[in-house]
């Protein structure tokens, strides 16, 4: 399989598969670790098919893990299925099995779901996905805005990086003490950052004006929804049926396989 040119392939089946698969994962009941393992197996197999090894996928999936902080209170505050209770220093603590199950299920669901979306973005690049979403009736204003945002993202990020480097060179960093510590008060630092933001906006604005003039001179109106869409995937219906079967299997696994 060769990577198609941006927007050159009908990625609707991949988008539908990722969305329904993530929905099926979300619908798995608490403690359905066996079904979650099955869903992880499906994701890493799809990952291997598009060329990402399970280890790399697992590492990139870790982006969702810090969110476990939000679920920490339920582990310690719920009072059902107590696994342990005791005192740590002045605190009396208890660990609830039910709370642990909620936190663990949420984190695993987040981890597998993130990996599923990484597989999607590796299989089809962002412009291809936006084209697929446009085929699926995403409003033109959003599709055009998203398409242009993606197109100019790296350009403006590069610009921002250069400005940040210049700021670091002028040192608004609060690191260090005494003579090493350069830079003013918090409000001074906020103003410096605000000036960077303001001047980046002016650069983006003048770039937008230049693009608009260039587009207008060629008769374009600024909408990206001109030109032809890539040929529709002839096997779309079959693929969607396959996705639904997989999602149904996963849901059945969640309902029937043992939970802990």
Partner 1 sequence: MHLPDGFLAPQLALALWLLTAAIVGIALRRLAASRDTAGAAGRPILMGLVGAFIFAAQMFNFPVAAGTSGHLLGGVLAGYLLGPWAGTIVMTTVIGVQALLFQDGGLLALGANIFNMGIIGTLGGTLIARALALTLGDGRGARIGAAGVAGWLSVMAGAGVTTLQLGLSGTTDISVGLPAMLSVHLLIGVGEALITIAALSFIATTAPDLLGEESATQHSLLRRATAGAGVTVAVIALATLFASTDPDGLNSVAQALGFSNFEAGTSFNLFAGYAIPGLDGTASTVIAALIGAAAIAGLLFGLSRLAASRSVKR
Residues 136-165 that bind partner 1 (CB under 8 A): 139, 141-142, 144-153, 155-157, 159-161, 163-164
259 three-state secondary structure: coil
- Least distance between partner 1 and beta carbon 244 (Å): 17
- Give burial (CB, 10 Å; 0-12/13-18/19+) of 152: middle
Q: How far apart are CA 48 and CA 251, in angstroms?
A: 23
Please report whether residue 4 would count as binding partner 1 according to CB under 8 A.
Answer: no
Backbone CA torsion sign across 76, 82, 87, 88: negative
- Least distance between partner 1 and beta carbon 126 (Å): 6
Kindly tell me which residue out of 6, 8, 16, 211 binds partner 1, with binding defined by CB under 8 A.
211
Interface of this chain with partner 1, residues 183 to 202, rule: CB under 8 A = 183, 186-187, 189-202
8 A C-beta contact, residue 225 and residue 140: yes
* Closer CB to partner 1, 22 or 233, in the complex: 22
Please report whether residue 107 would count as binding partner 1 according to CB under 8 A.
Answer: yes
DSSP string, 25-61: HHHSPTT-HHHHHHHHHHHHHHHHHHT--HHHHHHHH
Alpha-helix runs per DSSP H in 124-185: 126-135, 140-170
In angstroms, the first-to-last Cα distance of the chain is 41
8 A C-beta contact, residue 79 and residue 96: yes
Kindly tell me which residue out of 114, 132, 247, 250 binds partner 1, with binding defined by CB under 8 A.
114
Interface of this chain with partner 1, residues 38 to 67, rule: CB under 8 A = 41, 44-45, 47-56, 60, 63-64, 67
Please report whether residue 228 would count as binding partner 1 according to CB under 8 A.
Answer: no
Interface of this chain with partner 1, residues 10 to 29, rule: CB under 8 A = 18-19, 22-23, 25-27, 29
- Number of amino acids touching partner 1 (CB under 8 A): 116
* Closer CB to partner 1, 99 or 233, in the complex: 99
């Amino acid at each position: 399989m060769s990577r198609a040119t941006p927007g050159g392939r009908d990625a609707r089946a991949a988008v539908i598969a990722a969305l329904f698969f993530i929905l099926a994962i979300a619908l798995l009941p608490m403690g359905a670790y066996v079904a979650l393992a099955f869903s992880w197996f499906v994701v890493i197999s799809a990952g291997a098919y598009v060329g990402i090894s399970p280890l790399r996928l697992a590492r990139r999936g870790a982006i969702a893990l810090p969110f476990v902080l939000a679920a920490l209170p339920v582990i310690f505050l719920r009072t059902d299925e107590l696994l342990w209770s005791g005192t740590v220093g002045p605190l009396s603590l208890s660990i609830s099995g039910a709370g642990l199950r909620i936190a663990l299920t949420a984190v695993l669901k987040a981890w597998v779901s993130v990996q599923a979306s990484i597989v999607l973005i590796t299989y089809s690049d962002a412009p291809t996905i936006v084209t697929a979403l446009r085929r699926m009736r995403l409003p033109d204003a959003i599709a055009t805005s998203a398409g242009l945002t993606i197109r100019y993202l790296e350009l403006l990020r590069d610009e921002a990086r250069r400005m940040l480097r210049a700021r670091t060179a002028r040192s608004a960093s609060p690191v260090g003490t005494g003579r090493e510590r350069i830079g003013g008060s918090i409000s001074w630092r906020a103003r410096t950052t605000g000036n960077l933001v303001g001047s980046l906006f002016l650069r983006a604005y003048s770039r937008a004006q230049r693009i608009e003039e260039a587009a207008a001179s060629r008769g374009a109106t600024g909408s990206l929804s001109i030109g032809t869409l890539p040929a529709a995937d002839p096997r779309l219906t079959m693929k969607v049926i396959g996705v639904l079967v997989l999602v149904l299997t996963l849901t059945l696994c969640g309902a029937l396989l043992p939970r802990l």
